[in-house]
Amino acid sequence: MPMTDSWQTAEIPGPKKASLIIKPDIADAMIRRARRPIMVVGHGILEYEVEGRKLIDCLIELSRRGKIPVVATASTNQEFLNRGFSPSALMPAVDLANRLTDARWNGLDGKDSYDLAIFVGLPYYMEWTILSGLKHFAPHVKTMTLDCVYQPNASWSFPNSSIKDWAANLTCIVANLGD
């Protein structure tokens, strides 16, 4: 399938569509360049495991190395806690996204607004609509999805890819960030 087709075929996007993350370096550069990134992790991430490693572990590592605060939605928090990791906030995705549209919102810690919001693990169609809301009403925030499917309403998205490639990409992003 074309790399910029929505994963769900009827979710026809545009005219404004996400730029492709064709290699992990791009995501890595976006994260490095961000002044105040935040990562929203949905429950979908709990389903995935590659070669015995849960992908949520990759995200924990990404958060630690990139110093990216994590917002756990739904019941994702339980799995983080099981791994000895405490998210910065527990908040529903729509609530967090709504706050992101407010350019004067000073973030979870009350210090400053975010300029990069990373999404991963929400139901595809829900992430699609939430990213659309941010695309139109949060021009001050770039959005990036780390899912293995193309999300056209993000600023940056991976193309549709296999779980194995996805895991490799996540691992590479984390490695690039260094210790």
Partner 1 sequence: MSRKGVNIKIKELNSDIAQLRDISLTIGAINNDTWDEPMGPTPFPSLTTLRNWDLTLLNRYKPFYLPFCDLCCLCTYGKCDLSGTKRGACGISMPAQQSRTVLITACIGASTHCGHARHLLDHLIEKYGGDFLINVGDTGVEVEAPVIRLVCGIKPVTLSDLEPVLDYCENQITQLLAVTHTGQEGYQLDFESKVLHAGMIDQLGMEVADIAQISALGFPKADPESSLADLGLGTVDTGKPVILVIGHNVPPSTEIIDYLQKKSLTSDVEVTGICCTALDITRYSSKAKIIGPISWQLRYIRSGIPDVVVIDEQCVRADTLQESAHIRAPLIATSEKNCLGLPDRTDDPVDEIVHDFITGKQTGALILDPVKVGEVAVRTSIGIAPLRKKHKTLPKDTDAIIALAKKCTQCVLCRRACPNDLPLPAAIKAAAQGNLSGLDEIYDDCLGCGRCEPPCAQKIPIHSLIVAAAGKKTRDETYCIRTGRGAIQDVEIRKVGGPIVLGEIPGIVAFVGCANYPKGSREVAEMCMEFAKRRYIVCTSGCSAMSAGMYRNEDGKTAYEQYSGHFEAGGIVNVGSCVSNAHIAGAAIKIASIFAKRPLRGNYEEIADYVYNRVGAVGVAWGAMSQKAAAIAAGFWRLGIPVVVGPHGTKYRRMLLGRSDKEEDWYVYDARTGKKVYGGPVPEHLFFAAETKEEAMVMIAKLTMRPNDTSKGRANKLANYIDLHKRLVGGIPPDVHLFVRTLSDVPLTMKDEIVTHLHDHSWKENPIPDPTLLKRMIHKEKEG
What's the CA gap between 111 and 25, in Å, rounded?
Answer: 29
Q: Does residue number 93 form part of the binding site for partner 1 (CB under 8 A)?
A: yes
Containing H/E element for 143? strand 142-145
DSSP 53: E
- The token pair that represents 111 in the structure block: 């210090």
Q: Tokens 């210090």 appear where?
A: 111
Q: Does residue number 33 form part of the binding site for partner 1 (CB under 8 A)?
A: no
Among residues 137, 171, 172, 177, the one that binds partner 1 under rule CB under 8 A: 137
Name which of 68, 50, 51 is nearest 60 in CA terms. 68
Q: Does residue number 111 form part of the binding site for partner 1 (CB under 8 A)?
A: no
- The token pair that represents 82 in the structure block: 């099981």
Q: Does residue number 66 form part of the binding site for partner 1 (CB under 8 A)?
A: no
Among residues 32, 49, 112, 125, the one that binds partner 1 under rule CB under 8 A: 125
Nearer to partner 1 among residue 30 and residue 122 (C-beta): 122
Q: Which of residues 43-62 bind partner 1 (CB under 8 A)?
A: 43
- The token pair that represents 98 in the structure block: 């709504």
What's the CA gap between 89 and 78, in Å, rounded?
Answer: 13
Nearer to partner 1 among residue 77 and residue 169 (C-beta): 77
Nearer to partner 1 among residue 69 and residue 133 (C-beta): 133
Q: Does residue number 162 form part of the binding site for partner 1 (CB under 8 A)?
A: no
DSSP 140: T
Binding residues for partner 1 (CB under 8 A) = 7-10, 12-16, 42-43, 73-75, 77-78, 81, 89-90, 92-95, 97-99, 101-102, 105, 122-126, 129-130, 132-133, 135-137, 139
